[in-house]
Amino acid sequence: MTKAQAMSTYLTEENSEDTVIGRIGEDCDSRFRQIMESAVRHLHAFVKDVEPTEAEWAKAIAFLTATGQKCDQNRQEWVLASDVLGVSMLVDAINHRQPTGATENTVLGPFHVEGAPHEEMGANICRDAKGESCVVTGRVVDIDGKPITGAKIDVWSDNADGFYDVQQPGIQPAMNMRGIFTTGADGLYRFRTIRPTSYPLPDDGPVGEILRQLGRHPHRPAHIHFIVSADGYETLTTHIFDAEDSYLDSDAVFGVKPSLIANFVADPTGSARWHVDFDFVMKPAT
Ligand code: BEZ
Ligand code: FE
């Protein structure tokens, strides 16, 4: 073996990333190769920048292990890690570059469930009789303002105590604060719920510990989640945020976008305490 060959065969501090990348087989899928080469280069650059002690590296491995062990059917600690580090919102931003005028996306979060009940327009999705009543109205339109008939609006939010139904099985009624509405010919939608409340992310795991060590709080500003879908349009996953919430500028998952902040006003009809109106503008499917 020549000295030059040995330099790329045996790993040294100087050649570490090239040596690892050099082991990738010739028949490796090209996209996977691109992803792994970049991951190895950035990971080695990070280690060379930080120069961790062995104790620090063991701590990092313990964090990764605990994060995996915290996951089960109802808890996704890895998604939480991605959320609080801003990676979920970055992936979202890259994948949903919107033309001017289309409603912006934001994080899905871990609390959406399939199979929410289909409701008549105007129905109340608050099934635990708690909280301050609120009517939510608006229209689903295309980027030219034309109403979209038959759009599905899948809605969910936390209850007045700041928990989703799936976090409190047996305490909250099943499907509390969830429903699916279908727009008519005018693109209008209307339902009853409560004015949403801010809530902390589950912070009893390794991600909560990281937040504490970083001096960050775990709260999300009050919001209502929506997935809006219609034939011929890109599915929109978004929230509307309460303009008066004190956590708007420090959302633990960086999900707030100014265009998604809405004003909750006293309901002029008196049928509920609050009213919020928000139009969803859909982007054509590509
Ligand atoms: C949520 O809004 O439901 C959520 C989003 C990201 C992490 C945790 C919860
Ligand atoms: Fe939420």
The full set of domain ranges for the chain reads 3-51, 77-282
Phi, psi of 147 (to 5 degrees): -60, 145
Q: How many angstroms does the Cα of residue 119 sit away from the middle of ligand 2?
A: 21
Q: Strand pairing of 223-229 and 219-220?
A: unpaired
Residue corresponding to tokens 């001096």: 215
Q: How many angstroms does the Cα of residue 113 sit away from the middle of ligand 1?
A: 13
CA atoms within 13 A on the CB side of 215: 0
pLDDT of residue 123: 98
Q: How many angstroms does the Cα of residue 39 sit away from the middle of ligand 1?
A: 26
Highest CATH level, class, for 77-282:
mainly beta
Q: What is the pTM of this model?
A: 0.92
Closest residue CA from atom 2 of ligand 1? 109
Q: Mean pLDDT of residues grouped by 10 in the chain (286 residues)?
A: 70 97 96 98 98 98 97 89 96 85 92 95 97 98 97 98 94 97 95 98 96 98 98 96 98 97 96 97 92
Decide if 193 contacts 136 (C-beta within 8 A): yes
Q: Determine whether the shortest distance from the Cβ of 78 to ligand 1 is under 6 A.
A: no
Decide if 279 contacts 138 (C-beta within 8 A): yes
Neighbours of 198 (CB within 10 A): 18
Measured distance CA(101)–CA(188) in Å, rounded: 18
Neighbours of 56 (CB within 10 A): 11
